[in-house]
Structure 1
Amino acid sequence: MLVLAIDTSTPDLIVGIVNSETGDTVGQRIIEDTREHNEQLTPMVQEALSDAGLTFPDLGAVVVGCGPGPFTGLRVGMVSAAAFGDALGIPVHGVCSLDAIAQGIDFDATPHALVATDARRREIYWATYTQGIRTDGPDVVAPGQLELDRAVDVISIPEHLGEKLPEGLGGVDKLTLKPLPANLVAVADLATTPEALVPMYLRRPDAKEPKPKPKSPAIPEVEL
C-alpha cells in the first residue's frame, strides 16, 4: 500500500510517499526551517507524487505527525492530512512525531535515547526511549531544566539547543534527526481502524485573546 506521510511538528516541512510493505520511500520533499507550511504543503505533496509517477487515487492511507509541536504549524499538517483522507476516502493515522524521530536511532548500538525538538520560547519537546519504546514523555521544558530518570546513550536534538542541556548530558553523543516519511509510516499501526486525530500541543497556543479595552468615560451609562 502507498501511504502519504506528512509532518509539520518542527520548523521543517516534511512530506513523502512510502510503500508500507517494503518501507521504501518512493517520493519525498523536505523544506528545512520554514514558516510557510500552509503555502507549501499541498504543492509539495503534488511534487512528491509526481516524482514517484503517482497520482492521488494511488494512495491507500495517510499518516501524519501529531506533535508535540507549535499550534499553528501542527494544525496545518493535521488539517491537511484529514482533508486528503476525506477527499480520497482513505484512513488517516496520527502518530507521535518524537516516536518517528526515534525510529531513526540505532537502538542495538545505543539502547537508551533522548529525543527533543525545538518548542520555541526557549523550550524543548522531549521524550525518552529504551530499545525504541517510549519510556517517558512527551513533555515540554526549558532544556537546562531537563531531569531524566536514567542515563541515555544518544540524544537527537537541534544543534543550537544541544549545548543548553544540563551539564551531565554534555558528553552524550548527539544527532539531529527528522521525522522522515518512512519512519512516520513505520510507527503507525496501519492494520487498525484509526482513532480521531488529537494534536499534542502540551501548552496553550502563542496567540492570546486581547484584553478588553476600557470604556471611554465619554460614553454615558444607559439602563435598558
Structure 2
Amino acid sequence: MLLLAVDTATPAVTAALHDGTSVVAESSRVDARRHGELLLPAVDRVLAEAGVKLDSVTAVVAGVGPGPYTGLRVGLVTAATFGSALGVPVYGLCTLDGLAYASGLDVPFVVATDARRKEVYWARYASARERVGEPAVDRPADIAERVAGLPAVGAGAVLYPETFPDARGPEHVAAGALASLAAAKLAAGEQEAGGSGDGLPGHGFLPPLPLYLRRPDAQVPKNYKVVTPK
C-alpha cells in the first residue's frame, strides 16, 4: 500500500505518503494565496523523499473541506486527476477530521478553522476518531454556548479566543494525519468511498467532492450589461 494524501482546504498546502504502517514523507507550507502553485511541487518533494515514482501510488486521499471555494478545488481536482491517470481509487476525508485525528485528544473537543467573513468552519468531537454531528459554518459568537468549556483545535480557535479560550494545536491540517486516518480506515475494512453517508470519522470515506457549506464568494452579477453587435 502507498497512499498519496493532499489537502488544500486551509491555508496549509500539504501532501504526504503513507505506506500502510506510517508516514514515509510529508510536505506542508502555509500560504493561503498559492495553493495551485505549491501543491504539485509538494507532491514531487514527498515522492523524491520517499524514493518512489508516482505510479507506485495505490490510492489517493483528499481533504474535502470544508474550506474556501478556490483553494479547496485545487486539491480535489489534483487528487481526481491523479486517480484517473493512475487508475487508483480516490478517498475523501473531512479536513476537520484530519485535524481532530492529529490532536490525539480522547476527551470531547471542538475543531474550528478560519472560514473568513468573521466565521469558522467547525465540528464537535467525542474523541480524535469520533465526530458528533455534521460540520457547520457559523460566527463564533453564535456558537459560544454550544462549545463552552471544550478544548478547541485549529486556526479558527486561535483567531477567536473569546469563544475558544482553550485553543490547542495543530492550527492547520497536515496530509500525514489524513493519510494515517485513511490507512486506519482501510485496515478496518472501510473500502467504499462514501461509507455509510453519515460523515462520521469511523463510518467510511466521503465522496471526493468539495464540502463548501456556503455559496462561493465569486458570483455572476445579477444585472450585468449585455452588449450585442449592431
**TM-score, normalised on structure 1?**
0.85
Report the counterpart of residue 99 of structure 2 in structure 1. 101
Secondary structure in 2 aligned to 1:187? helix
Structure 2 CA distance for aligned equivalents of residues 214 and 107 of structure 1: 54
Structure 1 CA distance for aligned equivalents of residues 109 and 15 of structure 2: 25
CA shift at 1:10, angstroms? Answer: 0.2
Secondary structure in 2 aligned to 1:64? strand
Report the counterpart of residue 206 of structure 1 in structure 2. 217
How high is the sequence identity, in percent, across the aligned residues?
39
Contact 2:102 2:170 in 1 (8 A): no
Contact 2:110 2:147 in 1 (8 A): no
Report the counterpart of residue 171 of structure 2 in structure 1. 177
Aligned-residue CA RMSD in angstroms?
2.3
- Structure 2 unpaired stretches of 5+: 195-206
Report the counterpart of residue 204 of structure 2 in structure 1. none
Report the counterpart of residue 199 of structure 2 in structure 1. none
Change (3 A) 1:187 1:210: same
Structure 2 CA distance for aligned equivalents of residues 215 and 209 of structure 1: 13
Aligned partner (choices 26, 35, 38) of residue 37 of structure 1? 35
Change (3 A) 1:61 1:213: closer
Aligned partner (choices 137, 140, 151) of residue 137 of structure 2? 140
**TM-score, normalised on structure 2?**
0.83
Is the helix fraction higher in 1 or 2? 2
Change (3 A) 1:43 1:150: closer
- Structure 1 unpaired stretches of 5+: none
Structure 2 CA distance for aligned equivalents of residues 104 and 2 of structure 1: 20
Report the counterpart of residue 113 of structure 1 in structure 2. 109
1:128 aligns with 2:110: no
Contact 2:4 2:60 in 1 (8 A): yes
Encode CA deviations 1:38-81: one digit per residue, 9 max, x unaligned.
12211210111001111111111000000000010111100100
